[in-house]
Amino acid sequence: MTDLYSGGMTDLFFPRALVEGAWVRDARVATTAEGYISAVEVGAAAPDAERVAGIAVPGVPNLHSHAFQRAMAGLTERGSPAGDSFWSWRERMYAFVQRLEPPDIEAIAAQLYVELLRHGYTSVAEFHYLRNAADGRAYQDPVEMARRVLAAADVAGMGVTLLPVLYRTSDFGGAPPTPAQRRFVVSVEDLVGDILVLAAAAEDENTRVGMALHSLRAVPATELAIAVDTIQGLDPHAPIHVHVAEQVREVDACVAWSGARPVEWLLANAPVDARWCLIHATHVDQHEVDALAGCGAVAGLCPTTEANLGDGVFPLVEYQAAGGRWGVGSDSHVSVSPVAELRTLEYAQRLTRLERNVAAGGQRRSTGRTLLEAAWSGGSAACGRALGQLAPGARADIVVLDPNHPALAGREGDDVLDSWIFSGEDTPVAHVMVGGRWVVRDGRHVRQDAVAAAYRQVARGLAGAVPHLSVEAGGGG
């Protein structure tokens, strides 16, 4: 289906571009048929190149997504006399999951990916744990749900790092999964089989397959070790992701179980290195901050979801001071814009520290540039793909901003990035290229209408799938 997109082995000409960290004029960018940048020439005339009006910057990698949750956004915003928290939200999510079938997943994911692309994301790491049928049995094709995610990415033209998820237990200490979690449960052996099948089915350079461990609650230590050793043997460079330390209750339960905090335990018991992405890591002490930064792993921050769920605020200042790498994801997709994630991250720091321009670290530099550089670099590492740069060898994932948009009018250099992030909600994204192919032109995705029509039909069928009553639930998942 991707052959419907224009592009593939062409030369592009941008009047302004951010090339390898420098603002330049008259940039000629050559791309290969496989979707990589082969050369960048600055100050070029390029009369034979495709001329693209606007300001070219790297596309933003989205390092954490649960695509199906896009259809839940807005359906859990009612209070309860019993109180509301992440744990009661999770019970609503479990109820919602029971209604989803493979065609629904494809329609929801395609709509999500179209929205992400229109706002400047060009790649997504899909943390895929919705594996089984509603009764907990595997589909006839065990990777049916994963194939639907890949099909949606193909329809949208989104780069994807697919992360099949190991999920075994409901809480620390090996508590058996609850009936509500049976759609997620998979053995290590079956997970490895899924990964092998999906890696073999990956048809182009827009797709990467890694592995995720749902959480320390859901993966016992022995099985965690087996899974990590196995995936390293299959692909030494495969990205490995894990949810960790998102909630205070989770931290307390981990300490009660093991005597150690979650990040502390993980770093002591798993070979965590630059291939790993620790999702959230919200509740970490200074020892964990220093150790996480020192091992080279990426902290996967999802600020709008963390705010929506009442998770807490990541210690960004301390982590950056320790030299830690991080990137952003949209997780439950209460937002579909990298701008929202980066702005929420910065504003949370400002509110808790009573300061401004916190991410800039007291330096005379652009806050927007600082945030985006971290998101480009950390997101690329977490996705296991060459992303986040306009440079030879990187994927030709390019976002073109409209210099005539009111948010960017008259802006030059890093003021463009600051204004993109801190100047309103209307997106100045004009065109988006993924792997050398245009998927958004003049603010519209090339399949926007058809994808939205399919999604609307699914969304209407799911009306009422989320119960409004909030109930505090036990266990973990």
Active site amino acids: 280, 331
Q: What length does the chain have? A: 477
Instruction: Print burial letters for 152-174: b (CB count within 10 Å at least 16), e (below 16).
Output: bbbbbbbbbbbbbbbbbbbbbee
How far, in Å, CA of 264 to CA of 222, rounded? 17
DSSP 43: T
How far, in Å, CA of 385 to CA of 211, rounded? 14
What is the DSSP track for 181-207? GTTT-B-HHHHHHHHHHHHHH--STTE
Element at 223 (helix H, strand E): helix 221-234
What three-state secondary structure class fits 280? strand
Q: With CA atoms as reference, report the closest residue to 208 among 379, 374, 432.
A: 379
Element at 374 (helix H, strand E): helix 367-383
- Given a contact cutoff of 8 angstroms between Cβ atoms, the answer to whether 392 and 38 are in contact is yes
Give alpha helix (H) positions in 60-140. 86-97, 102-118
Q: Which residues pair with 28 in a beta bridge?
A: 13, 41
Tokens of residue 233, six digits: 């043997």
How far, in Å, CA of 64 to CA of 67, rounded? 9
The C-alpha angle with vertex 286 and arms to 280 and 289, in degrees rounded to 5, equals: 45
DSSP 21: T
How far, in Å, CA of 69 to CA of 334, rounded? 9
- Given a contact cutoff of 8 angstroms between Cβ atoms, the answer to whether 330 and 342 are in contact is no
Lookup result for tokens 């600020």: 303
The CA-atom distances, in angstroms, between 187 and each of 14, 49, 207 are 50, 52, 24
How far, in Å, CA of 337 to CA of 335, rounded? 6
- Given a contact cutoff of 8 angstroms between Cβ atoms, the answer to whether 65 and 243 are in contact is no
What is the DSSP track for 134-188? TTSPPPSSTTHHHHHHHHHHHHHT-EEEEEEEEB--SBTTTBPPPGGGTTT-B-H
The CA-atom distances, in angstroms, between 220 and each of 99, 173, 225, 232, 288 are 28, 7, 9, 18, 21
